[in-house]
């Protein structure tokens, strides 16, 4: 199954006999929570999911958005109506990062059928609703490990033996600016690959062929393992999604730079070269 779905395809599926569960994951870095935007207008039947409290654990040594406790995550997904035998579609405001985090996390914990609305809510031209639904409880029970996950040591090793992509903006990779984390720069050996370059100006993904060509130019030859990190495991999930669209499996370093940079024993490289 394709990892993304168009607005027209979603409209068709919602009108069908077995509509998917739809999750609204609109989010902005640093808050506030965008539930108010959801309550003004959302895709009919969509359930709001808060990234900071339901798709991540408390910030700490594991980074700004560590993976959530599986039991708490499972409870949140069941409350949203998620079951393993029912398709799920996730969307955010249009950037795609938060929706990709939900896609990655549900897939990592074993859900077999999750897609991201390409272009997010901004691409939706169908009806909208301000009614907050009360879904029937789902039955999804997370089983972590269904997608490859890297820790800090694994990311460091992959940067030497395979291809580790840094999904952040180029200036953060080079260490020219660092607006959030303790220091700027990148993991030694990591290749700069801003996830913003995987989409068009309207936030929709490039074609599979275009994405495959882009990742090939960055070193994804098909013979070595690929991993991704970002600031805190959110935009990196978007890059893993882009790689999936291109047919390239990739691991996510969930702790990402927010974990790596607060450990003074970890080496940091600045400048444009991976080293």
List, for residues 44-72, the tens digit of each pLDDT value: 999 999 999 999 999 999 999 999 999 99
- Please name which of 74, 71, 92 lies closest in space to residue 84, comparing C-alpha atoms: 74
Query: Catalytic residue at 104?
Result: no
Dihedral angle sign, alpha carbons of residues 256, 259, 30, 78 = positive
Q: What is the pLDDT of residue 1?
A: 73
The burial class, CB within 10 Å (0-12 / 13-18 / 19+), for 120 is buried
We find that the CATH architecture of domain 4-123 is 3-Layer(aba) Sandwich (3.40)
- C-alpha distance from residue 103 to each of 25, 90, 237 (Å): 10, 7, 8
Q: What is the pLDDT of residue 221?
A: 86
Residue 259's pLDDT band, with cuts at 50, 70 and 90, is very high
From the list 230, 242, 245, 254, the catalytic residue is 230
Name the pTM for this structure. 0.97
Q: Where are the domains of the chain?
A: 4-123, 149-260
**Average pLDDT for 255-264:** 97
Note the residue count of the chain: 275
What is the tens place of the pLDDT at every residue in 108-121? 999 999 999 999 99
**Average pLDDT for 8-29:** 96
What is the tens place of the pLDDT at every residue in 151-175? 999 999 999 999 999 999 999 999 9
User: Which superfamily does CATH assign the domain made up of 149-260 to?
Assistant: Rhodanese-like domain (3.40.250.10)
Helices 97-108 and 235-245: crossing angle, nearest 10°?
Answer: 70
Average pLDDT over the chain reads 97
pLDDT above 90 covers what percent of the chain?
Answer: 95
CB atoms within 10 A of CB 56: 23
Whether 74 has a pLDDT exceeding 90, the answer reads yes
**Average pLDDT for 240-264:** 97
Contact between 88 and 139 under an 8 Å Cβ cutoff? The reply is no
What is the tens place of the pLDDT at every residue in 177-230? 999 999 999 999 999 999 999 999 999 999 999 999 999 999 998 888 999 999
Do the first three CATH levels of 4-123 and 149-260 match, i.e. the same topology? yes
């Amino acid at each position: 199954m394709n990892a993304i779905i168009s607005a027209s395809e979603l409209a068709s599926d919602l009108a069908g006999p077995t509509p998917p569960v739809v999750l609204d994951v609109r989010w902005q870095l640093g808050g506030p929570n965008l539930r108010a935007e959801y309550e003004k207008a959302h895709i009919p039947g969509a359930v709001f999911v808060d990234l900071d409290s339901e798709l991540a654990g408390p910030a700490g040594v594991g980074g700004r958005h560590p993976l959530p406790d599986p039991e708490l995550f499972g409870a949140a997904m069941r409350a949203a109506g998620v079951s393993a035998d029912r398709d799920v579609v996730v969307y955010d405001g249009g950037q795609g990062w938060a929706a990709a985090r939900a896609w990655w996390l549900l897939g990592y914990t074993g859900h077999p059928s999750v897609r991201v609305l390409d272009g997010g809510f901004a691409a939706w031209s169908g009806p909208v609703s301000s009614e907050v639904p009360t879904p029937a409880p789902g039955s999804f029970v997370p089983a972590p490990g269904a997608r490859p996950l890297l820790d800090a040591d694994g990311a460091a090793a992959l940067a030497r033996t395979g291809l580790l992509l840094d999904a952040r903006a180029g200036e953060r990779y080079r260490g020219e600016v660092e607006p959030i984390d303790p220091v700027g720069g990148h993991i030694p050996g990591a290749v700069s690959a801003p996830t913003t370059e995987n989409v068009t100006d309207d936030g929709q993904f490039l074609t599979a062929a275009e994405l495959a060509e882009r990742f090939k130019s960055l070193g994804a030859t098909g013979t070595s393992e690929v991993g991704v990190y970002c600031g805190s495991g959110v935009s990196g999930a978007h890059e893993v999604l882009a790689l999936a669209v291109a047919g390239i499996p990739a691991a996510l370093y969930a702790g990402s730079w927010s974990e790596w940079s607060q450990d003074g024993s970890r080496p940091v490289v600045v400048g444009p070269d991976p080293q």
